[in-house]
Amino acid sequence: MMESQRVIVVGGDAGGMAAVSQIRKRRPNAEIIAFEKGDWTSYSACGIPFVVGGEVVGGVDRLVARTPEQHRANGVDLRMHQEVVSIDTAAGTVEVRHIDSGSTSYEPFDQLLLGTGGVPIRPDVEGIDLPFISGAHTLDDATWLADLAKSGGLEHVVIVGSGYIGLEMAEAFLHRGLKPTVIDRGPHPLSILEPELGAIVARALHANGVDYRPNHEVTGFAPDMVMTRDDAVRADLVVLGIGTGPNSALAKQAGLQLGVREAIVVDDRQQTSVDGIWAAGDCAESTHLISGTNMHLALGTYANKQARVAGINIGGGDARSARVLGTAITKFCDLEIAVSGLNSKLARMAGIDVVSQTIESSTKAGYYPGSSMMTIEVLVERRSGRLVGAQIVGGSGSAKRIDTCAVAMTAGMTVDQIVDLDLAYAPPFSPVWDPVAVAAREALKLL
């Protein structure tokens, strides 16, 4: 039997709590103490836009996968409304602020897992603290925004940022009968997209009644107004969706090594630069499979996987985090969007010489009801013919095809191997040549 250990987890969502069952399985006698400063545990921030838009009925409780009581029933000493404010790595203790009482206590640990998550980026401009400006990051944000959206008291909603959170929030307000304005300093929505695919998303924004303003940099806020370099836009509500940075202040204070955008540097076992201190989720770095560079990618998929790996290792096992492709998927109204691997800018930065091929195909057999168009762009390494990136924009049934591309990239497949993949076909699902295979076949011609 392994010796009993005192494991402290900081953060009550995926990056922390997804480790717990792995630790418990391997160290049945471990004392596991988790601190969460907020009101919720194991929740899906990914569901926030759908609560705000009203597609998910029943409020934010529907987004909670495991309540504090359920965690406690699983043997976790979960302490809510308690914030870890500092770490003494030499002494092996954390300092905890009890939010309700204002008191402080110190807790020793043998192993410490940081799952402190991310912080929404806020532009450093005048008026940023005005009360009509909200993030879309916490379940409290979701409740506030949903209540406002259905109150009937909103007319001018401005969303700053046209990344995936900005797009999903724009759709949410459309569902509530409003016509939001989306402002972005970039030339097209979703900056990771190649321009021609970004242009399709921009057209969908306009077609669905969004007042989309690219190349508009926000310079400040005044009551009822968003100022940009070029104009001013009326607003009774502003939602920020300009990205997520790592919440690594605690790690920084403790002297842990920080990397890209100050995300916590971890090895492939999720251990930080200090033995016995681990990190997972939005607070930590990931390593890109194709470029080999470290990145900060705030995705729920990584938080869950990294926490599982950290949990196995804290439990005495030996697990390694796989390198990532940045595979992501979203939708705006009827348009599905997905990416995986590098885009041409990232390929250039990584020094990978690529050819790119863009094709259009139908999502099902062209004659089958409900068939719609989709566009795939693939990036292929010129020298080897290996797929290094893929992007999809199209109608229903198109975007999940990105998973085929992700598997192919993980396996290091070349486009001629992808052409030969035995992909399923029947008219209600696909044309006889799957669009991924068509893109590979057309890319092959360029090599």
Ligand X SMILES: Cc1cc2nc3c(=O)[nH]c(=O)nc-3n(C[C@H](O)[C@H](O)[C@H](O)COP(=O)(O)OP(=O)(O)OC[C@H]3O[C@@H](n4cnc5c(N)ncnc54)[C@H](O)[C@@H]3O)c2cc1C
Catalytic residues: 46
Q: Closer CB to ligand X, residue 36 or residue 377?
A: 36
363 binds ligand X (CB under 6 A): no
Buried b (16+ CB within 10 A) or exposed e, 252-290: eebebebbebbbbbbeebbbbbbebbbbbbbbbbbbbbb
Pairing of strands 294-295, 286-287: antiparallel
The position carrying tokens 């939001």 is 180
Tell me the closest approach of the beta carbon of residue 447 to ligand X, in angstroms: 33
Binding segment toward ligand X, per CB under 6 A, in 6-14, 186-194, 207-215, 254-262: 6-14
84 binds ligand X (CB under 6 A): yes
92 binds ligand X (CB under 6 A): no
CA angle 72, 75, 80 (to 5 degrees): 35
Q: Closer CB to ligand X, residue 11 or residue 394?
A: 11
Q: Closer CB to ligand X, residue 227 or residue 328?
A: 328
Q: Pick from 254, 266, 277, 303: which binds ligand X (CB under 6 A)? A: 303
49 binds ligand X (CB under 6 A): yes
Tell me the closest approach of the beta carbon of residue 277 to ligand X, in angstroms: 14
Tell me the closest approach of the beta carbon of residue 84 to ligand X, in angstroms: 4
Phi-psi region of 397 (alpha: psi -120 to 50; beta: other; left: phi over 0): left
Q: Closer CB to ligand X, residue 166 or residue 385?
A: 166
Measured distance CA(20)–CA(7) in Å, rounded: 10
381 binds ligand X (CB under 6 A): no
Q: First vs last Cα of the chain: how many Å apart?
A: 58
Count interface residues toward ligand X (CB under 6 A).
Answer: 33
Give every CB contact of residue 244 below 8 A, 6+ residues apart in sequence.
Answer: 118, 119, 120, 121, 137, 282, 298
- Contact at 8 Å (CB) between 32 and 76? yes
DSSP 8-state symbol, 264: B
11 binds ligand X (CB under 6 A): yes
Q: Closer CB to ligand X, residue 9 or residue 438?
A: 9
Q: Pick from 24, 27, 37, 401: which binds ligand X (CB under 6 A)? A: 37
38 binds ligand X (CB under 6 A): yes
Tell me the closest approach of the beta carbon of residue 118 to ligand X, in angstroms: 5
Q: Pick from 9, 13, 111, 213: which binds ligand X (CB under 6 A)? A: 13
- Contact at 8 Å (CB) between 338 and 375? no
What is the four-CA torsion angle of 182, 186, 190, 196, rounded to 10 degrees? 110
Q: Residues 205 to 234: which contact ligand X by CB under 6 A? A: none
Q: Pick from 66, 137, 185, 305: which binds ligand X (CB under 6 A)? A: 137
Q: Residues 233 to 262: which contact ligand X by CB under 6 A? A: 247, 250
Site string for ligand X, 151-190 (x = CB under 6 A): --------------x-------------------------
C-alpha radius of gyration, the chain, whole number: 23
Q: Pick from 6, 21, 26, 46: which binds ligand X (CB under 6 A)? A: 46
Q: Pick from 282, 285, 336, 434: which binds ligand X (CB under 6 A)? A: 282
Q: Closer CB to ligand X, residue 35 or residue 221?
A: 35
- Residue 406: alpha-carbon gap to chain centroid: 16
301 binds ligand X (CB under 6 A): yes
**Number of CB atoms found within 10 A of residue 303's CB:** 26
DSSP string, 136-185: S-SHHHHHHHHHHHHHS----EEEE--SHHHHHHHHHHHHTT---EEE-S
35 binds ligand X (CB under 6 A): yes
Binding segment toward ligand X, per CB under 6 A, in 37-45, 210-218, 316-324, 405-413: 37-45
Task: Map residue 96 onto helix, strand or coil.
Answer: strand
Tell me the closest approach of the beta carbon of residue 45 to ligand X, in angstroms: 3
Q: Pick from 7, 8, 14, 324: which binds ligand X (CB under 6 A)? A: 14
Q: At 251, list the tokens.
A: 């790690």
Sign of CA dihedral 63, 67, 70, 76: positive
127 binds ligand X (CB under 6 A): no
Residues that bind ligand X in the complex, under the rule CB under 6 A: 10-16, 35-38, 45-46, 48-49, 83-84, 115-118, 136-137, 165, 247, 250, 281-282, 298-301, 303
